[in-house]
Structure 1
Amino acid sequence: MKYQTRKRAIVLLEDGTIFHGKAVGDQDGKAFGEVCFNTGMTGYQEIFTDPSYFGQIMVTTNAHIGNYGANEEEKEAATAQISGLVCKNFSYNQSRPAADETLKQFLDKSNLFAISDVDTRALVTYIRENGAMNAVITTQFEDMEALKKELAEVPNMNGLELASKVSTKEAYYFGDESATHKVAVLDIGVKKSILKHLSKRDVYCKVFPYNTSFEEMEEWKPDGYLLSNGPGDPQPLNEAIQVAKDIIEKDRPVFGICLGHQVIALANGISTYKMHHGHRGINHPVMNLETGKGEITSQNHGFSISEEETAAHPDVKITHQHLNDKTIAGIRMKNKKCFSVQYHPEASPGPNDAHYLFDEFIHNLIAEKRVSH
């Protein structure tokens, strides 16, 4: 499919820097958000539908996007979660028999604006050197001063609460009701793949809205809890932080992933901070400090927990470390059935090096049952 009337488009960064491209398709469009990049060579559909990316304009570093179309089974949420897409070459035709539709059709259904023909190498290099910042992608840039003024009003990701934007509105169930284990999932942006991994391990999940109290979840009598991944700054999530405190106080099994990991840190009085440009890709090296083994991991986060405060905490042990910048990639509470990682053990997309973390969680559920019975 060829579009003869593709419109000129730009990426305007909040510092005034401009990158040029063309709209995907023949429509006008405009989208705002924090610009970030993902280095994965595959898995674009999972990335675009990951709730952790809500409010962000995604720049893909792979030169070709869309060439294998879109598949219903590979979505992490019902629709695209990113606010906009920037790529080098956009493929309007797909060449995979398993595809349900082209990526263009999927983006149209998600009402997502995308631009291509951008020098993504230059854009990614600029973000790496200058840090994450807000941006707008648009075909409507005749009045540049008005556009800059509009961009300046977009809220900064630092301090921004977004879990409420992506969380389920009502509790729902996932998996086999007759499964051996029951896990209450606090949805602060959960990916469907996480629920699938739990279900494969004989777990029946009940997924609760982001602001559900510990008491309400406890009424379901779960064997353990999972604090999910999600978007935005963890510090405003007062209800989720209180839930983590209550779970820890009762010493119930709990597993935190990404944003859930940061919430567990905050529940322990460990602060978080906005990273320069974050970790987003499927080949991030992590060292398991407990086993001495390396892992290649899938990561997606713009915040991290304080290295100094974690190292000094008497009740918390650092279990994993990112090998590129030495940031903390995992923690475990001493004498509690509580652990968390900053990366995505379910991957999707990415390697399966960290799948064992789900098995560790199941081990904790089994141990909890033995104690309670």
Structure 2
Amino acid sequence: MTATATQPTNLAALRAPQEASMPAVRAGFFDLQSFELMQRIAKGFASSTLVPREYQNNVANCMIALNLAQRINGDPLMVMQNLVIVHGRPTWSSQYLIATANMCGRFTAIRFEFFGDRGADTWGCRGWAIEKSTGEKLVGADITIGIAKEEGWYSKNGSKWKSIPQQMLMYRAGSWWVRAYAPELSMGLMTADEAEDTFDLVQGTDGKLAVDLSALRDDPAGEHGEHPQIEERQPVTIPQQTAAPAAERVDAETGELIDRNAQQQSGDSPGFADAHAAVRSGDYDLARDLARGLPDAQRQQIEAAIANLDDGARQQQDAPARGRARQQRGQGGLGLD
């Protein structure tokens, strides 16, 4: 009876799927199983209509968003909803960055305090929070309307600094606080409103933000200071000095060039100097090859030098024969056999 009672349990164990005994796999990029799991999750998000258009039918963008969610321990859908693509670069929304710092558990919720006269350039805001592990009050940088004007945020086309300055002061103070005390949460990315203040953005019909490149090229007078006066000058043409042709003077006995102008010209033309050296060494074939790429005047000088040396060599070869002929004639005249 005991064996019969335990048999179903053993059969159920044998029928259990093999996946139950496999180790848990975490989505990632650096091993096969993790990468396949990441792709399967990304395909699910890419086929959904609840994600922004930048992620619909785009598995690669979904995988990058999943990786960022893992790094900050955030929800993937919330990351996709708040990761705004501006000019091909991901940016965070300011409210999501502040919310991430509030939920990380290391600090109390970020609070804001205003100072200065409302509506004046001195009106500003700073963020602060208490670090739970030490009890220290962490105070962020001061953001004022004057800073917004000096940095050019206030005068940008479509800027919200004129319509909702209080909200923009809190957003900017909060994002700067996170960047100062919890940079691992922002991952080095800008916020969407910072990108809008840096570039003139235009929102298209598809909801995407694009940069107006003409705004980057054109700077209206007075917006970023006066333009420096540029003096227009006409190009100056410098006449090219043409060297006088060198006289072709060759030593009749040695075949060397003895004209000074020719020597100066050879110093200006390495090809001519090489051809001249080949003539002196007796390599006439090499000298002729180098002379083909030289100007006519220099080529003629090399050819003349080769011809003179050839004549001299033939004369030296013929000299013994002529001497023997004269000697034989002299002996014949003297009656010598």
TM tier relative to shorter chain? under 0.3
Structure with greater strand share of residues: 1
Instruction: Please identify which structure carries the higher helix content.
Output: 2
TM-score by length of 2: 0.20
TM-score of the pair, normalised by structure 1: 0.18
Which structure has more RCO (C-alpha within 8 Å, separation ≥ 6)? 1
